[in-house]
Structure 1
Amino acid sequence: MKNEFKSLIVHGNKKFSIKNTKTDYTGGYNKEKAKDALIKSKIEVNQLQEKLYASSTHSLLIIFQAMDAAGKDSAIEHVMSGLNPQGCQVFSFKAPTAEEYEHDFLWRHYKALPERGRIGIHNRSHYENVLVCKVHPEYILNENIPGYANVEKIDKDFWKQRYQSIRSFEEHLTANGTAILKFFLNVGKDEQKQRFLDRIEDPSKNWKFSSGDIKERVLWNDYMTAYEDAINETSSKDSPWHVIPADKKWFARLAISEIIEDKLRSLNIKFPVLGEEDQGKLNETKMALLAE
């Protein structure tokens, strides 16, 4: 992986600080150079996905988390446009349903995991349970967890246990062949403001805007603390976080594609090789077709 993208990885071996990250970092790329590089990377990802699908030994789970207007949807649209839809599935998680609240917080996410050979994309994920729920701990009460009948009970030990549940969940997935990529699209507060204004001014983008987005923006500092805690608590060697500067969408898309390409390549997946008996049958079929 190129150095300009390696710097975006949080391995968990040292404390991560959001205030020390640049949301407008571009790694020396300009818009045109990044667009050309993205085209090449998408071709490589497509070829690697074909091997992933054919081998059916591994799967890849890609997680996107971000503040509103950070560009999750457009990143998924542009970066994944070169993938074979048969081997790819996207889930966008909203507030839990009544049925989902009847289960533990990981249940609905476990159901949405990609099968072997496939790439699964989670637009928001199980991390909402330590992000939005940490900013709004009253949401936890909907889970009806024994011993947590009021917000005052939701203390540091509660969050410590929840981070541990997430780490164990991801360790289990990794041990069973699911590679995990976690992306935090790190948009600046000023850039978010401008994107909100653009959505208001452009009638074709009005549908993207919600008054609730402004209410959450007021809690910006609380969210940054929640993200920082989650990244520090759940980054590991096998499942690190990638903090993607998101002020320049063209750079964010390139960074995401390059990191996906690198991850797929690291799996060292090859096309299946037929055994001697199957190869013999294949040759017999070939001869029969040629003899027609």
Structure 2
Amino acid sequence: MKSINPDDFKVVHAIELSKMPTLLAVDNDEEEDKLDKVREKLSKLQDVMYAHNRYGVLICLQGMDTSGKDSLIREVFKEFNSRGVVVHSFKTPNSTELEHDYLWRHYLALPEKGKFAVFNRTHYENVLVTRVHPEYILNENLPGIEDVSAITDTFWENRMEQIRNFEKHITQNGTIVLKFFLHLSKEEQRERLLRRLEEQKQNWKFSIGDLKERELWTDYMHYYEEAINNTSTAYAPWYVVPADDKEMCRYIVGKIIWEEMQKHTDIQEPEMDEKIRENIELYKEILTKE
């Protein structure tokens, strides 16, 4: 099989998730194709980014329960300096967050220049979970939205536009945005949920809510497809990554991040100040004689 090509996973035209693979057979035996090599290169890249101090990188991860987001974050970013990557797991908005617009808490979590931020579930929950459960929108106390019947197709179209504008704004101000949908099959989710029940060390992960949301699988796939098709742009692309094989999924995501970052050729270590360079031998002598 051919090696990983990030373009094979990038959404550049309308997709149908039902026709996209959740499992991929790829030859990853070559040394250069192994995840440990990719994450080591990413770690070094982040060090250079920190010195360059012009870009931040936002990695967005979405997927159904058990799709492997947590373990992917752990494995792909494990070689990073702990100061170089911050992970945000967005739960149900709290009372303070609900006093602001739905994007407010995501603005607060954007990466500083020179750093990576990973959104484990993202601002897209606001056009995914809330579409499956539109009653959640009522918690936002929006003008003109008194009940679910007031939440029209136009409401969702506007929200998609707001998200595109949000991403355009932050990319124009130095944030590189890469978005990944971990495409899991319903059968593989069933197996992973069963493991949570059968293996004692995984029991704590199981939630009755997982079963309730699983019953809405078709709805979620429809709204994921619609969100991806409406918001995959040149400046903030979506990648649909097969997720039935966790190890392969992690490698694909890591490889895509690395390949996309190579396009930013201006990310270079800054040169030493000329005055320091001219006196470097003097400074070495001073330190040597201490």
State the structure with bigger RCO (CA 8 A, min sep 6), 1 or 2: 1
Answer yes or no: is the 8 Å Cα contact 2:4–2:252 preserved in 1. Answer: no
Corresponding residue SS for 1:60: strand
User: Which segment drifts farther, 33-42 or 121-130?
Assistant: 33-42
Shift of residue 291, structure 1, vs aligned partner: 3.9
Can you list the C-alpha shifts for 1:120-150, whole angstroms capped at 9, x where unaligned? 0110010000010111110000000101111
TM-score scaled to structure 1, two decimals? 0.94
Shift of residue 282, structure 1, vs aligned partner: 4.1
Shift of residue 214, structure 1, vs aligned partner: 0.4
Shift of residue 187, structure 1, vs aligned partner: 0.3
Aligned residue among 219, 223, 234 for 2:216: 219
Give the corresponding residue for 2:10. Answer: 9
Corresponding residue SS for 2:144: coil
TM-score scaled to structure 2, two decimals? 0.95
Question: CA 1:35–1:219 in structure 2 vs 1: closer, same or farther (change >3 Å)?
Answer: farther
Give the corresponding residue for 2:244. Answer: 247
Corresponding residue SS for 1:258: helix
Question: CA 1:46–1:93 in structure 2 vs 1: closer, same or farther (change >3 Å)?
Answer: same
1:269-284 paired onto structure 2 within 5 Å? 269-284=267-282
1:15-164 paired onto structure 2 within 5 Å? 15-26=14-25, 28-29=26-27, 37-164=34-161
Shift of residue 157, structure 1, vs aligned partner: 0.5
Structure 2, unmatched stretches of 5+, are: none
Distance (Å, rounded) in 1 between the aligned partners of 2:54 and 2:107:
18
RMSD after superposition: 1.6
Can you list the C-alpha shifts for 1:31-59, whole angstroms capped at 9, x where unaligned? x6699611111111111111111111101
Question: CA 1:96–1:111 in structure 2 vs 1: closer, same or farther (change >3 Å)?
Answer: same
Answer yes or no: is the 8 Å Cα contact 1:34–1:250 preserved in 2. Answer: no
Q: Percent identical across equivalent pairs?
A: 44
Corresponding residue SS for 1:10: coil
Distance (Å, rounded) in 1 between the aligned partners of 2:78 and 2:289:
42
More helix by share: 1
Structure 1, unmatched stretches of 5+, are: none
Shift of residue 264, structure 1, vs aligned partner: 2.2
Count of aligned residue pairs for this structure pair = 287
Answer yes or no: is the 8 Å Cα contact 1:141–1:149 preserved in 2. Answer: yes
1:180 has 2:180 as partner: no
Distance (Å, rounded) in 1 between the aligned partners of 2:273 and 2:11:
42
Aligned residue among 280, 288, 291 for 2:286: 288
Consecutive aligned runs of 4 or more in structure 1 exceeding 4 Å deviation: 32-36
